[in-house]
Amino acid sequence: MPRGYYLGQGLIPLGYSSSDDDEGPCELPDGRLVCGPHGFVVCGKCCVDYSFMDDVLSNQGNGDDKEEEEDDDDDSGGNGAEPDFIQDLLGPALRKGTGRSWPSKFIPSSTTDTPAELFSGRRQHIRVKRYTHRDDASTVLIRTDGACLDNGQANPKAGWAFWHGVSDDGTHLIASACLEAKGPFGDAAAQTSNRAELRAVIAALRFRHWPGEGFETFVVATDSEYVVEGATKWAKTWIKNGWKTSAGADVKNKDLWQALLGEVERASDDDLAVQFWRIPREWNTVADAAAKSAAAREAAPSEWMEMIGMNI
């Protein structure tokens, strides 16, 4: 296996981990968010970063919230490049999303339904059991999270994780890693909790060829408003504005947003729908603990790393 790739089996048993920022965000009169316990936009203790609201608020009133019709003229199914068999063995090449396909929000039948209750089905794939919808075995649930120690301070360290199944003996199957020092397209990048949250989703989507396991819908469960609202709503305005805010500044984490949307488009090409479900932090403790553990490991990798799931 060449440098820059992991084989991800994810056999990491984890117990309960308390969540940070238990009081949740507080909204200020101008619409900005701060952490409940300390009143900070970027809080290292709570491992949160609400600075993304600057991008959101700066674009309010500049676009129409109505859904725009999709441009169906492009039948190329992607960037028009010929398939690369060797590359596909290691994972498909990263690409920048254009807004050709969009994810949607997953809406549970009841607001009291927890992931454990609603995704109580089990679809077996070799030695791995996936969490599937109790009424639809073609819908799989993956729980993601990102964390950053000393977020917004001098030497932050971020990590990401996703929980993708359970082994035959009941062990949680977790994939996790430190956040890289470079983004998916080679640019230097900061260590932040928001980047870690996005990185977890990208990693989960690229971990397996999910349609190959018979799935038609891929539900990402996360406690991050930034990820859910950004992927399903805000990014539409950002793309329309050329990834600029109304003040002319670059949208934060543009590279990861483009990579995430690229994976959504790739999924759509394979008839896999991507949905985002925002869940409370107390429903996401396994991925939360794994992300924090990953952040506390060794120094961040200097280059972007791929994690390829192999059921062995």
Amino acid found at 186: G
Composition of the chain by helix, strand, coil, percent to 5: 25, 25, 50
E strands, the chain, are 5-8, 25-27, 33-35, 42-43, 48-49, 104-105, 121-125, 128-133, 136-149, 157-167, 172-178, 217-222, 273-278, 306-309
Predicted pLDDT of residue 9: 45
Q: Kindly report the backbone phi and psi dihedral angles of residue 222, in degrees, each rounded to the nearest multiple of 5, phi listed first.
A: -145, 155
Predicted pLDDT of residue 126: 85
Q: How far lies 23's CA from each of 19, 34, 309, in Å?
A: 10, 11, 36
What is the 3 state secondary structure string of 51-64?
CCHHHHHHCCCCCC
Residue-by-residue pLDDT tens, the chain, 312 positions: 333 555 554 333 333 333 344 455 666 655 666 666 555 666 655 666 766 666 666 666 554 444 444 444 444 344 444 444 444 556 789 999 999 999 999 999 998 999 999 999 999 988 899 999 999 999 999 999 999 999 878 899 999 999 999 998 999 999 999 999 999 999 999 999 999 999 999 999 999 999 999 999 999 999 999 999 999 999 999 999 999 988 889 999 999 999 999 999 999 999 999 999 999 999 999 999 999 999 999 788 999 999 888 754
Predicted pLDDT of residue 148: 96
Predicted pLDDT of residue 182: 96
Cα 305 to Cα 270: distance, rounded to the nearest angstrom: 24
Judged on CB neighbours under 10 Å (0-12, 13-18, 19+), 18 is exposed
Classified by CATH at the fold level, domain 5-24+100-309 comes out as Nucleotidyltransferase; domain 5 (3.30.420)
Q: Supply angle C-alpha 177, 140, 311, rounded to 5.
A: 55
Q: Is 215 helix (H, G, I), strand (E, B) or coil?
A: coil
The residues spanned by each domain of the chain are 5-24+100-309
Cα 154 to Cα 134: distance, rounded to the nearest angstrom: 46
Q: Quick one: CA dihedral 93, 95, 99, 105, positive or negative? A: positive
Predicted pLDDT of residue 117: 96
Q: How far lies 107's CA from each of 110, 118, 139, 265, 278, in Å?
A: 8, 11, 13, 21, 9
